[in-house]
Copies of this chain bind each other. A is one copy, B any other.
């Protein structure tokens, strides 16, 4: 039966053995007091919450879903109690600034926490999932008065928050949004417009809700340069109900316990956050962290699907396996069948490799804020900016695809509700869409970041990735070969883009995928070097890591080659797609 095991040993392996983060924390004043034992305890407590409190609400929450009546949303049974326990344990404040009530722990621990939460119950995790973004937005951009009123409650999680961006006609293209903000005499604004797809726009978990709303001031320039950010609470400071109301919730493929709301702002009172017409910049201040958290949802689904598939594949007996020497009876566990091993090993390589990259990205976000020297902060910021669209896209693609591969391991049983994997597939699908579709991520990487500066930062990043592979590592040459060929492709894209402005858009998805696969290879080269140390000889855990690394370089290398070739095919323009009659 469906089960969530928090992969604590693998998390420690990444954090301690491969990335060596405890030593790095010691060198950063912000985290100098954090030791490996404390970090372990945080992870163990988080695992306890995820497995014991949250995971039991996952399947019932999917069946029950949210209900809506008279502007009110009821979340599934148990969600409110789980949220209360979450707040009481102080989890929302984990990675917030101690100066405003936070615990000041590294982003990587917050990343591990959210990986576990999303794996245990993705729908529930949508509610606190926006807290950290709202925290950063307010912390960096809000007036002292707004901070005084709202920041503490957001840090503690006493009040939840939303991000009101999308409108019916403005999704990927926020420049089209039309919600209006009119100045009032008291320095506040009146917001008027309708927002859709607002996660947690209404809920019964907290007494108040802090809406962050993108809207246009009168006479604002058209497009993205005329968008401002406002804070509009469900209940105003005087206790009265603000004119921000939920008009309905969506019926969705998955994450059914998460209320996806249509929100109407009917001259709702709000206050400007940051500068006028610079709302997108204020909101995107926290974009790297927000995207990383969506990437972690993909990782969470892939990991949990893989783990459950491994357990099932050991229990389910069907047919004799052709594996020499291991077949035992008239029917073997399907884990012995090559078709199943192929699926499970590919999952393992992609899941564990992805965790290494994602946790390193979380550390880069910390370095971008806390590194001692300005150049170190800038380099970390640059690398995080390149890495996050890759992670968001690749890990959420895998969250869905690897969950579907796991469903296949369960066969017909996987298609029924009873085994949990079909919910995992449905829930995982959304992460490819929100927080910028995966196609938008690829454009961000290739058009906005790679091509924009002639490939300089991307090339510097590849050099840093190559430098991080120990020269004596077994898979060093293969890794450097991939990084080199990726660099050649990127340089060719930059050059060709000068004569063909559409080209980077055509190759974006494949170049992103090639980048991701090279990152996976680089991660496994480093992990293999660690697990090949003499002290790990004979240890089954490390032997499995070496097997995974070998599998990556033998069986995933063709996928990297394919991504390169597919990108090169993008030199050839696409034909038009007409709305032809088929009848």
Chain A's interface: helix, strand, loop or mixed, by majority? helix
Chain B residues with Cβ below 8 Å from A337 are 505
Q: Quick check: A318 and B575 within 8 Å, CB to CB?
A: no
Stretch at the interface among A81-89, A249-257, A369-377, A384-392: A249-257
Q: Quick check: B443 and A415 within 8 Å, CB to CB?
A: no
CB distance from A409 to the nearest CB of B (A): 9
Q: Quick check: B578 and A555 within 8 Å, CB to CB?
A: no
CB distance from A340 to the nearest CB of B (A): 8
Chain B residues with Cβ below 8 Å from A551 are 574-575
> B344, B442, B558: which contacts A565 (Cβ < 8 A)?
B558
Known A400-B404, A408-B437, A439-B408; judge A416-B566 contact (CB<8 A). Answer: no
Chain A 150-190: CB-based contact to B (< 8 A → 1; otherwise 0)? 00000000000000001001111101100000000000000
Q: Quick check: B550 and A558 within 8 Å, CB to CB?
A: no
Chain A 500-513: CB-based contact to B (< 8 A → 1; otherwise 0)? 01100110110000
Chain A interface size band reads 35 or more
Asked if A557 lies at the interface with its beta carbon under 8 angstroms from chain B, I say yes
Q: How far is the CA of A540 from the CA of B166 in the complex (A)?
A: 38
Q: Quick check: B540 and A569 within 8 Å, CB to CB?
A: no
CB closest residue in chain B, given A500: B324
Known A171-B318, A408-B432; judge A574-B342 contact (CB<8 A). Answer: yes
Chain A 215-233: CB-based contact to B (< 8 A → 1; otherwise 0)? 0000000110000000000
Q: How far is the CA of A348 from the CA of B580 in the complex (A)?
A: 12
Asked if A582 lies at the interface with its beta carbon under 8 angstroms from chain B, I say yes
Of A6, A175, A348, A583, most B-chain CB atoms within 10 Å: A583
Chain B residues with Cβ below 8 Å from A575 are 341, 345, 544, 547-548, 550-551
CB distance from A100 to the nearest CB of B (A): 33
Chain B residues with Cβ below 8 Å from A547 are 575-576
Chain B residues with Cβ below 8 Å from A253 are 415-417, 422, 425-426
> B222, B345, B422, B501: which contacts A324 (Cβ < 8 A)?
B501
Chain B residues with Cβ below 8 Å from A241 are none
Q: In chain A between 57 and 113, which residues have their CB closer than 8 angstroms to a CB of chain B?
A: none
Of A310, A422, A439, most B-chain CB atoms within 10 Å: A439
Stretch at the interface among A7-15, A269-277, A356-364, A530-538: A7-15
Chain B residues with Cβ below 8 Å from A175 are 319, 330
Asked if A197 lies at the interface with its beta carbon under 8 angstroms from chain B, I say yes
Asked if A335 lies at the interface with its beta carbon under 8 angstroms from chain B, I say yes
Q: How far is the CA of A176 from the CA of B319 in the complex (A)?
A: 8
Chain B residues with Cβ below 8 Å from A222 are 330
CB distance from A163 to the nearest CB of B (A): 13
CB closest residue in chain B, given A251: B417
Asked if A317 lies at the interface with its beta carbon under 8 angstroms from chain B, I say yes
> B10, B404, B568: which contacts A429 (Cβ < 8 A)?
B404
Q: Quick check: B506 and A338 within 8 Å, CB to CB?
A: yes
Chain A 465-505: CB-based contact to B (< 8 A → 1; otherwise 0)? 00000000000000000000000000000000000011001
CB distance from A421 to the nearest CB of B (A): 9
Chain B residues with Cβ below 8 Å from A223 are 330
Of A253, A418, A508, A551, most B-chain CB atoms within 10 Å: A253
Asked if A313 lies at the interface with its beta carbon under 8 angstroms from chain B, I say yes
The 7 closest A-B pairs by CB, nearest first: A562-B562, A547-B575, A253-B422, A339-B439, A558-B565, A338-B505, A251-B417
Name A's B-contacting residues (CB within 8 A).
5-10, 47, 166, 169-173, 175-176, 196-197, 222-223, 250-254, 260, 307, 310-311, 313-314, 317-319, 322-324, 326, 330-331, 335, 337-342, 344-345, 348, 400, 404, 407-408, 411-412, 414-418, 422, 425-426, 429-430, 432-434, 437-439, 442-443, 501-502, 505-506, 508-509, 540-541, 544, 547-548, 550-551, 554-555, 557-559, 561-562, 565-566, 568-570, 572, 574-583
- 27 A-B residue pairs with Cβ-Cβ distance under 8 Å, sorted by A, are A6-B583, A9-B582, A9-B583, A171-B412, A176-B318, A176-B330, A176-B331, A252-B416, A260-B416, A310-B577, A322-B502, A322-B505, A337-B505, A341-B575, A341-B576, A341-B577, A342-B506, A404-B429, A408-B437, A411-B437, A422-B429, A425-B429, A540-B578, A555-B566, A559-B562, A561-B562, A562-B565
